[in-house]
Structure 1
Amino acid sequence: MESFTCSKLVSCHGLPTIITLLYFCTIATTLCLAARQPEQRMIKSNTADFIKTSCGVTRYPDICYETLSSYARTILTSPKELANAALSVSLNEAQSTSASVLKLSKGHDLRPREAGAVKDCVENMRDSIDELQQSLIAMKDLHYLGPEFELQMSNVMTWVSAALTNEDTCMDNFEGNGFNGEVKSTVKGYIIRVSQLTSNALALINQLR
């Protein structure tokens, strides 16, 4: 028996009236959409499982899944796309954090030591942003085949590790006495999230090896 396809059903030429044509084509479209729904649900479920399982190798699996699940259509079940998405999320957060810290640095009620620490943190975050951008560029040139793969992977991981180090250094600037508790906790709140995201990205990149 000849198999049914949406394209055959949609081929409605030669029917006696426009009304009949529209009627059968509407039915065809409805049936085609209904036929695709189970497949789409399966793909969505497989992608969600893939992201959740992959996030299990990170230090912060909950935030990993929370931030990457919205990229499901791009990620599907591709480890490389997952790593790219994680890097993009980390970069976006680093840019947001940098803007917040820069705004804080322009406050007039900072103590001298606080002002210095915040200024250094601004520089740290600028470096982190640049390093994450470099890692994304390097990821685009990443090919699984060929002798250069390990060198390319090493470059990507070096950039991301450097970004994570700069984020940690930002917090180190606030160690010791002489800081307003509110200023310190505000900066810490910014930095913790971006460092967690960068740590997750590094773990997912490492899984490409």
Structure 2
Amino acid sequence: MEGSSSRHGLAILLIILQFTTYTALSSADTPFHSQRNIEYIKSSCSTTTYPRLCYRSLSIYASKINTSPRLLVHTALNVTLKASKSTSRLMIKISRIHGLRPRVAAAMADCIEVIGDSVDELQQSIGELGHIRRSNFSLTMSDIQTWVSAALTDEDTCMDGFAGKAMNGYAKTMVRKRIVKIAHLTSNALVLINNYASTESNLP
């Protein structure tokens, strides 16, 4: 009985040691990979026009992005699309406020239309990125660059509609704050896209 008990106790001890060793190794590996992913995002964002915004918006997705240029671009486009949709919803709400001056109401209507176009262009870009292959890489990336550039132009067009002191007020303040942010996100995404487009060697 004592021998059996000793063997049983030894088996349990071995299991505990194996588990402890595995846990220690996992704990050691995780920070390393996480730090590598973070450094990759930081390095990639350093080439953008708004690096702090780029890092802040993408670093939370480090484990998903890993060190993949395609996933970095995909995430940047998705973050931009989400912000654009949110801005579009806000502008629709503001446009329904009673008492907006005619010029402000007209600028708001135009802005809603062009941001809608921007959302469509970002969605097209994301869709095309999912179908990219080595055989169609250059052509597809060219299309994506064109669509994202158009989205950035749409955002600038929206802001142009609110130019001048006569347009000052709540609507302009709220729209400008949101449009500037998505324009900066779009600009960053475009730089990351251009970097990715410069080489086919990143393809899986």
| TM-score normalised by L of structure 2 | 0.88
- Counterpart mapping for 1:1-209 below 5 A: 17=8, 24-143=14-133, 145-146=134-135, 148-208=136-196, 209=198
Equivalences, count: 192
Percent of aligned positions that are identical: 42
SS of the equivalent of 1:174 reads: coil
Amino acid corresponding to residue 92 of structure 1 in structure 2: K
Using the TM superposition, give the Cα deviation of residue 125 of structure 1 relative to its aligned residue in structure 2, in angstroms: 1.2
SS of the equivalent of 1:121 reads: helix
Structure 2: 5+ residue stretches without partners: 1-5, 199-204
Using the TM superposition, give the Cα deviation of residue 41 of structure 1 relative to its aligned residue in structure 2, in angstroms: 1.2
CA distances 1:47-73 after superposition (whole Å, capped 9, x unpaired): 111100100110000000000001111
Using the TM superposition, give the Cα deviation of residue 141 of structure 1 relative to its aligned residue in structure 2, in angstroms: 1.3
More helix, by proportion: 2
Higher relative contact order (CA 8 A, sep 6+): 2
Using the TM superposition, give the Cα deviation of residue 24 of structure 1 relative to its aligned residue in structure 2, in angstroms: 3.9
Structure 1: 5+ residue stretches without partners: 1-14
Amino acid corresponding to residue 162 of structure 1 in structure 2: A
1:6 alignment partner in structure 2: none
Structure-2 separation of matches of 1:133 and 1:37: 38
Structure-1 separation of matches of 2:151 and 2:169: 26
Using the TM superposition, give the Cα deviation of residue 142 of structure 1 relative to its aligned residue in structure 2, in angstroms: 1.5
Using the TM superposition, give the Cα deviation of residue 16 of structure 1 relative to its aligned residue in structure 2, in angstroms: 5.1
Using the TM superposition, give the Cα deviation of residue 39 of structure 1 relative to its aligned residue in structure 2, in angstroms: 1.6
Using the TM superposition, give the Cα deviation of residue 78 of structure 1 relative to its aligned residue in structure 2, in angstroms: 0.9
Structure-1 separation of matches of 2:92 and 2:13: 61
Using the TM superposition, give the Cα deviation of residue 178 of structure 1 relative to its aligned residue in structure 2, in angstroms: 2.7
Structure-2 separation of matches of 1:40 and 1:63: 25
SS of the equivalent of 1:178 reads: helix
